[in-house]
Every structure is written in structure tokens, then in C-alpha cells.
Structure 1
Amino acid sequence: MLKVVHLNTYDGNGGAGRACLRLNLALNATNEVNSEIVVFYKFGQNPAVKTFTNTLLKRGYAAAAIVAERLLAKHYLKPVKIPFSFTWFGYSVVHHPTVLAADVIHLHWVNHSFLNPKHLAELAKLNKPIVWTFHDSNAFTGGCHVRYSCDHFENECGNCPVLVDANPNDQSHKIWKQKNAAYQNLNFKIIAPSGWMKSSVLRSSLMKGRQINVVPNTLETNIFQPQNQQEARAKLNLPKDKFIFLTGFMPSKKDSHKGAAYLLESLELLADKRSIEVENIELVVFGNRNTEDVPAFPFKTTFLGTISEDEKLAACYAAADAFLIPSLEDNLPYTVMESLACGTPIIAFKTGGIPDMVQHEHNGFLAEYRSSESFCNGMEWMINYPVKEALQKNARATVMQKFSEKVIAQKHIELYKSLLPNG
């Protein structure tokens, strides 16, 4: 049986961690692959996840390195909300028994003092096929995870708009050179979860000549599935007769790419429309850790807080009439996939990997990029759409055809096997 080991910094934290866990489940369900996960720092108790830092001393080192990187980074970074990773600390994984036993090594998100360029380069010694899923842009930039309009990654970075001391030989250029040296002798195949990510990689100077395979992430379609809307609303104590917009609104101190300002502006535009009865619409928000610093929304708003159980999250999607995601740059956001799987259509900007999932006026509405007016039009279109059941049916069908566990697991298995000597 084919043995695959997945390496990720954390166990389920963030989109990459969730993607890694879900892929692991999908692969093991095929009975063709023995798939295992080993992470740098383990938060949870999932017995299916191993960790490189399984002693008190190693765990202490990992925690200290992660914190130290964040503290040191403050001296180099401007107060902008763009995630950036440095390469000061790292951890060697080449002697771990699960890594040594694997036929294929599958890398995921390996920042926060885990696999820096030096320790990535070490993997070449193992002479094993390596697959790397790019969950964001960091692998092919001089440090940033979200690029916006910056095109410095097309050359050798430097003059980084995120750094305090931006110059041609700044930290971004130095990190670019470290990565370039590490990648020279490291043969790996790239998985881009979206067409947008593939096009980004093709523009990158660090990835010239690399093979890129577009393979989306997957999810648990038996948990995220359609359910009776009224029953879902009753579970969450939501009104039965209102049109409900759901969003994961979260004004993060780190991420400006989530587009919260556009969400607020588009809702205000919607409330000003004569055709809209404000009292018949409710906004439901999950993900906010506190409600003290949020703006005054123009519609009645219910805050559900952070939701850690997938079953409850699925009920949130099912209770809503539409899901709002104003992200300005996203690879293949899980909230979109989860919502569609539950039969709930999407309103989003035409950006990143979202158009890989949302087909305009088929299972949602794709607004013009950074246009609050267009986003507002999408909400009005959704409210007035005559056959909502058709949108719901299309939403679920999209996920089952393109992103279900069996479909995505098989695409990964085909790639793994093609990399083996007898493949």
C-alpha cells in the first residue's frame, strides 16, 4: 500500500491545516493509501495526528521559536495587515521514522519556524518524491503570504512594501535567495488548489520550470450537506421568516485581505435601496471572538461567536439564504466550499480561486472586484431570485462533482503514483 506523509505546521488551525486533515481522511477512505500527518506543533488531541515535538523539551522549543519569530518580526515589518514569514528558525524532519517510511512526502503550510529553506533542502537527501500544496503565496515570495498587486516575486523580491527598511537587498531579497538556493536541488511537484494559484505560480521567478497540477481541496460532504432550513434555524434560535445573510465577518488585526470594509459598505448601500425592507433581513455572523469592536450594521445582526463543531457550522450554512464573503485575495476559501456543500449560494468578489467554485448566477453571484455597489447588487439579486431551490441544488451539485472526497483523493493518488519509479 502506498505510504504518504503530510507535513504541516499545525493540526487543523487555519485553512491549510483543515485541508491537510480532510485530505488525509479522504485518502485513507480509499484503501489504496496509508496516509499519515505529522505536524510541528500540535494543539489538539486527534490521535490520527503525530507531532515532531512530542516531548516537553521539543514542544517548548517549538513554542519559543514560533513566539520569537513573531516578536522579532515586529522590528522589521510596517504596521500593515499583510502576513509575512521570516526564516530565522527551523526544524529538521529527515530522521523521523514516519518520514523515513513514507513513499511520498506531501508538504502543506510549513511556516512559523518549521521548515525554513535550510531544512527544506535537507529533504533532497531522502531521495523521495515530494509534493507541495501551495495554500498561499509564501513558497514563491520573499516572505509575504498575500501579494495583492505587488509583482516583485516575478523577479527576486527586494524593495518589499511590507518591510520598514525596504531596499534592493532587504530581508525579502535575502529570503528569496535562501529559497532559490534550497529549491535548486529539491525536486518537488506543485499542487495549486485553484487556477488562480497556478497562474500566480507561473509568474514566479522561484518556480520557473516546475510542474504545476491544479487539484482542489476537499471536505466532509456527509457533514456539510443540505438540511431543512427551518429546522436549522430552530437549532440556532434564528427567525423563521426573514431573509438571512450569513458571513464569517472577522475584522482581523493581521489580514486586510478579508475585505470587511467592503462588506459594511455594501450592506449600507443595500439598506438604502427603496425595494429593500430592512426589517425583513437579518445578518448572522460567525467567527467573531468578541462583539465590542464591530461596527453598527444597518440590519439586525446576530453574532454566533466562534464555532468549533463542524455540525453546528453546517447548520449555520443551512439556516442561511446566502453566504457573503468579501475576500480580496483568497486561494480556495473553505467557507465557500462548505456553504455550497450545504446548498447555500454565495455572494463574493471575482477574485482568487473563488470563481473555481462559484459560477455567476448559477450557484451564486460574482461581484466586480472591490466594487461595493456590485456586491450590493448581488445581494439584491439573491433576495429577488424567483427560484431559490435551483440555486441551492446547483450549489450542492458543484461540490459533489468537483470537490467531493472520492474525486479529490483519486486525483492525488494518480499524482503520487506518477512520481514513483514504477509509476
Structure 2
Amino acid sequence: MLKVVHINTYDGNGGAGRACLRLNLALNEIGDVDSKVVVFYKFGQNPAVKTFTNTWFKRGRAAAAIITERLLAKRYLKPVKIPFSFTWFGISIIKNPKVLAADVIHLHWVNHSFLNPKHLAELAELNKPIVWTFHDSNAFTGGCHVRYTCDHFERSCGDCPVLADAQPNDISHQIWKQKNEAYQQLNFRIIAPSSWMKASVLRSSLMVGKQIDIIPNTLETNIFQPQNQQEARKKLDLPKDKFIFLTGFMPSKKDSHKGAAYLLESLELLVAKNSIDPSQIELVVFGNRNTEDMPVFPFKTTFLGTIKDDEKLAACYAAADAFLIPSLEDNLPYTVMESLACGTPVIAFTTGGIPDMVQHLHNGFLADYKSSESFCEGLEWIKNYPVKEALRQNAHETVMQKFSEKVIAQKHSELYKSLISHG
């Protein structure tokens, strides 16, 4: 049986961690792949997930490196909400028994003082096929994870808009050079979870000549599935007779990456049009860590806080009439896939990998990028749609046909086997 080891910084923390664990489960289900996960820093208690920092000393050293990188980063970065990773720290994994036993090494998200360019290049010594899923842009930039309109990664970075001391030979250019040297030594096959990510990779100066496959992420369709809306609302103590808009983590009105300001403006536009009765609408927000830095919304708002239980999260989607995601750049956001799987239509901007999941006027509404007016049109459209059950059915079918565990696991299995046979 083909042995695959998945390598990620964390176990389930963030979208990449969840994608890694979900793929691992899906691969073990299909029966022809022996899949394992090893992470840099383990938070959870799952005994099936192994860690490279399996002693108190190694774990402490890892935590210290992660924290030190964050503290040092503040000296170099502008006060902007764009994540950026440095390459100061890292560990070697080429002597780990799970890595040595694998037929295929599958990399996922490896930042936060885990695999820097030097330690990535070492993997070439193992002479094994390497697959790397790009969950964000960091692997092919000089440090940033979210690019927005910056095109410096098409050249060799430098003059980085995120750095306080931007110049042609700045840290982003130095990191670009480190990655370029490592990638010259390391042969790997890229998986892009979305067509947008593939198009981005093809523009990168670091990825010239690399082969790319589009294979989306998957999720647990036995958990994220349609359920009775009224029963879901009862579980969450939400009103039975209101139209419920659901949205995710929004730290503040000033937040840039999640687009909270656009959502707020579109909701205010909806009220200003006088086309609906505001008392019949409720906004439900999950993922907020607190309510202190929240804008004032024009509708009654319920904050559910951080939800760590997937079954409760699925009930949130099922309870809602529509899920709103004003994100300005996202690869293949899980919240969209989870919502659709639960049969809940999605209103989103036309950006990133979202159009791979949301089909305009079929299972949701794709608003013009950064247009609050267009997003507001989507809110009106879903509120007034005559046959909402048809939208819910379309949403669920999209996930089952394109993103279900069996479909995605099979695509990965075929790719692994092709790399072994052409090895």
C-alpha cells in the first residue's frame, strides 16, 4: 500500500491544518493509501497525529522560535494586517522515521519557524516524490501570505509594501533568493486548491518550470450536511421567523483582509433602500473573540463567539438563510464550502477561489469585487428569491459533486501513484 506522510505546522489550527487533517481522513477511507500526519507543533489530543517536537524540550524550543519570530517581525513590518513570514528559524525533518518510511512526502503549510528554505532543500536528499499544496501565497513570494494587488513576486520581490524599510535589496528580496536557491535543488509537484491559486502560481518568478495540478480541499460531508432549519435554530436559541444572515470572524471595522467594512456598508445600504423590514432580519456572527471592537450593525446582531465543535458549526450554517463572506482575497475558504455543504447559499465577492465553489445565481451570488452596492444586490436577491429550497439543494449538490471526500481523495491518490510510477 502506498505510504504518504502529510507535513504541516499545526494540527487543525487554521484552514491549512484543517485541510491537511481532512485529506488524511479521506485518503485512509478509500483504502489504497496509508496516510499519516506529522506536525511541527501539536495543540490537539488526536493520537493519530504525530509531531516533530515530541519532547518537552523540543516543544519548548519550537514555541520559543514561533514567539521570537513574531516579536522580531514587528521591528521590520509596517502596522498593516498582511501576514508575512520570515526564514530565521527552522528544523530538519529528514531523519524522522515517518518521513523516511513514506513513499510520498506531502507538504502543506510549513511557516512559523518550521521549514525554512534551507530545511526544505534538504528534502531532496531523500530522493522521494514531493507534493506541496499551496494554501496561500507564501511559498511563491518573498514572505507575504496575502498579495492583494502587489506584483513584485512576478520578479524577485524587493521594495516590499509590507516592510517598514522597503528597498530593492530588502528582506523580501533576500527571502526570495533563499527560496529560489532551495527550489533549484528541490523537485516538487504543486497542488493548487483553486484555479485562482494556479493562475497566481504561474505568474511567480519562483515557480518557473514547476508542474501544477488543481485539486480542491475536502471536508466531512457526514457533519456538514443539510438539516432541518427550525431544529438548528432551536439548538442555537435563534428566532424561528426571522431571515438570518450568518457571517464569520470580523475583528473590526478597520480590518482589511476579511473586508468587514464592505459588509457593514452593504448592510447599511440594504436598510437605506427601505425595501425590507429591518426588524425581520437578524445578523449572526461566529468566530469573534470578543465584541469590544465590533462595528454597530443596522440589524439585531447575535455574537456566537469562537466555535470549536464542527457539529455546532454545521448547525449555524443550517440555521441561516444565507452565509455572507466579504473576504477580499482567499484561496478556497472553508467557510464557503462548509456553508454550501449544509445547503446554505453564499453571498461573496468575486475573488480568489470562491468562484470555484459559488456559481452565480445558482447556489449563491458573486458580487463585483469591493463593491458594497453589488454585495447589497446579493443580499436583496437572496432575501427575495422565490424558491429558496432550490438554492439550498443546488448548494449541497455542488459540494457532493466537486468536493466530497471520495472525489478529492481519489484525485490525490491518482497523482501520488503517477509520481511513483514516473519516479
Change (3 A) 1:254 1:301: closer
Are 2:192 and 2:214, in contact at CA under 8 Å, matched by a contact in 1? yes
SS of residue paired to 2:30: coil
Q: Is the 8 A contact 1:2 1:34 kept in 2?
A: yes
Q: Distance in 2 between matches of 1:391 and 1:257?
A: 28
Specify whether residues 113 and 252 from structure 1 end up closer, same or farther in structure 2 by C-alpha distance, changes over 3 A only.
Answer: farther
- Partner in structure 2 of residue 79 of structure 1: 79
Equivalent residue runs for 1:6-405 within 5 Å:
6-251=6-251, 256-405=256-405
2:8 match: secondary structure: strand
CA distance in 1, matches of 2:249, 2:267: 12
Structure 1 residue 253: deviation in Å?
10
Distance 2:45 2:57 in 1: 19
Structure 1 position 251, deviation (Å): 1.6
Displacement of 1:292 after TM fit? Answer: 1.6
TM-superposed deviation, 1:258: 0.7
Displacement after TM superposition at 1:274 (Å): 1.6
Aligned twin of 1:3: 3
**C-alpha contact 1:249 1:288 (8 A) present in aligned 2:** yes
Q: Tell me the C-alpha RMSD between the 2 structures.
A: 1.1
Which one is further off, 89-98 or 251-260? Answer: 251-260
User: 1:366, 1:133 → 2: CA distance?
Assistant: 26
Q: Deviations over 1:122-168 (max 9, x none)?
A: 00000000000000000000000000000000000000000011000
Q: 2:422 & 2:200 partners in 1: Cα distance? A: 32
Q: CA deviation at 1:252?
A: 6.3
Q: CA deviation at 1:272?
A: 1.1
Question: Secondary structure in 1 aligned to 2:76?
Answer: coil
Indicate if the aligned counterparts of 1:81 and 1:254 stay in contact, CA closer than 8 A: no
Q: Number of matched residues?
A: 423
Instruction: Could you list the structure 1 runs, at least 4 aligned residues long, displaced by more than 6 angstroms after superposition.
Output: 252-255
Amino acid at match of 1:194: S
C-alpha distance in structure 1 between counterparts of 2:347 and 2:250, whole Å: 17
TM-score normalized with structure 1 length: 0.99
Q: Does the 8 Å CA contact 1:5/1:35 hold for their aligned counterparts?
A: yes
Say whether the 8 Å CA contact 1:82–1:254 is kept in structure 2.
Answer: no
Residues 253 and 93 of structure 1, relative CA distance in 2, 3 Å threshold: farther
Contact 1:225 1:341 in 2 (8 A): yes
Amino acid at match of 2:377: N
String of CA shifts for 1:209-268, please: whole Å, max 9, x gaps. Answer: 110000000000000000000000000000000000000032269962110110111111
Task: Tell me which amino acid in the other structure corresponds to 2:154.
Answer: E
Task: Give TM-score scaled by structure 2 length.
Answer: 0.99
Sequence identity percentage: 84
Alpha-carbon separation, structure 1, partners of 2:315 and 2:45 = 25
In structure 2, the partner of 1:416 is 416
User: SS in structure 2 opposite 1:184?
Assistant: helix
Q: Give the Cα separation in 1 of the matches to 2:289 and 2:200.
A: 33
Separation (CA, whole Å) in 2 of partners of 1:220 and 1:148: 30
Would you say the 8 A contact 1:192–1:216 is kept in 2? yes
2-structure distance, mates of 1:242, 1:301: 12
Per-residue deviation, residues 319-344 of structure 1 (Å, max 9, x unmatched): 00000000000000000000000000
Q: Structure 2 unaligned segments of length 5 or more: list them.
A: none
